[in-house]
């Protein structure tokens, strides 16, 4: 904005959700777009799981006592929450709300159930992307190469992947991850475009009024 135009257009941040079956490449894509976009930050979850060596409070998780977690949930201070292997995980509303108000975008790496809860909590701010593997043999190859897992474990993961994939119709955008570079560029384009949506650009009314009054 030049000195002639004191009317800044600011922007409300958005919540970018990436979901996919495991093995579709979501983690790599998340890491790549985070490293390329200084305005995008990973959402930090609250959890009742014990802190592991090297983990930092507020960076990796907000480590929370179970009693406090339930209190937060009851007060609707969590945008979504779930139980995984006996531990509670959830997204505190306040830091996300502060980021959005300051024009920062927040990335969520969550499954279809978490996405459904986020959608109910914050419909207008949500941009949801579902990442699909390009083919079944490729998905199987990625799941197998991940670890020296038994055939049984791979079969269970394939079944889970199949379940997760059935939820593609609930997402705004679908990216088929044929190769990482192309998929990263596609998710970046989604982010760029969604930032330009009229309703996210705060102060446009003042800006145009200023332009029209000359």
For binding to its own copies (CB under 8 A), which residues are involved? 1-2, 4-5, 9, 130, 132-139, 158, 162, 165-166, 168-169, 171-176, 185-186, 188-190, 192-194, 196-198, 201, 204-205, 207-208, 210-212, 214
Nearer Cβ to its own copies (2/74) = 2
Distances in Å between the Cα of 195 and the Cα atoms of 11, 13, 61, 89, 94 are 8, 8, 27, 29, 21
In terms of Cα–Cα distance, which of 69, 38, 46 is closest to 191? Answer: 38
- Pairing between β-strand 15-19 and β-strand 105-109 as defined by DSSP bridges: parallel
Nearer Cβ to its own copies (89/186) = 186
Least distance (Å) between residue 149 CB and its own copies: 17
Least distance (Å) between residue 32 CB and its own copies: 16
Least distance (Å) between residue 187 CB and its own copies: 9
How many Å is the maximal CA-CA distance in the chain?
A: 71
**Residue pair 191/128 in contact by the 8 Å Cβ criterion:** no
To which residue do tokens 């000359």 refer?
A: 214
Least distance (Å) between residue 142 CB and its own copies: 13
Nearer Cβ to its own copies (77/138) = 138
């Amino acid at each position: 904005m030049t000195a002639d135009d004191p009317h800044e257009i600011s922007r409300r941040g958005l919540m970018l959700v990436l979901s996919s079956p495991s093995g579709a490449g979501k983690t790599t894509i998340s890491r790549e777009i985070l490293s390329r976009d200084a305005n995008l930050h990973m959402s930090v979850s609250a959890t009742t799981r014990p802190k592991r060596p090297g983990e930092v409070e507020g960076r990796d998780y907000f480590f929370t006592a179970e009693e406090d977690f339930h209190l937060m949930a009851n007060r609707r201070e969590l945008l979504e929450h779930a139980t995984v292997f006996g531990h509670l995980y959830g997204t505190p509303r306040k830091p996300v709300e502060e980021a959005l108000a300051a024009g920062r975008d927040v990335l969520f790496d969550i499954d279809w159930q978490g996405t459904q809860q986020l959608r109910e909590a914050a419909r207008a701010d949500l941009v949801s992307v579902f990442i699909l593997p390009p083919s079944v043999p490729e998905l199987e190859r990625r799941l197998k190469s991940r670890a020296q897992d038994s055939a049984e474990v791979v079969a269970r993961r394939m079944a889970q992947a199949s379940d997760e994939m059935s939820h593609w119709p609930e997402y705004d955008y679908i990216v088929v991850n044929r190769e990482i570079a192309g998929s990263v560029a596609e998710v970046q384009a989604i982010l760029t475009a969604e930032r330009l949506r009229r309703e996210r650009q705060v102060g446009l009314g003042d800006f145009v009024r200023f332009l029209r009054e000359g």
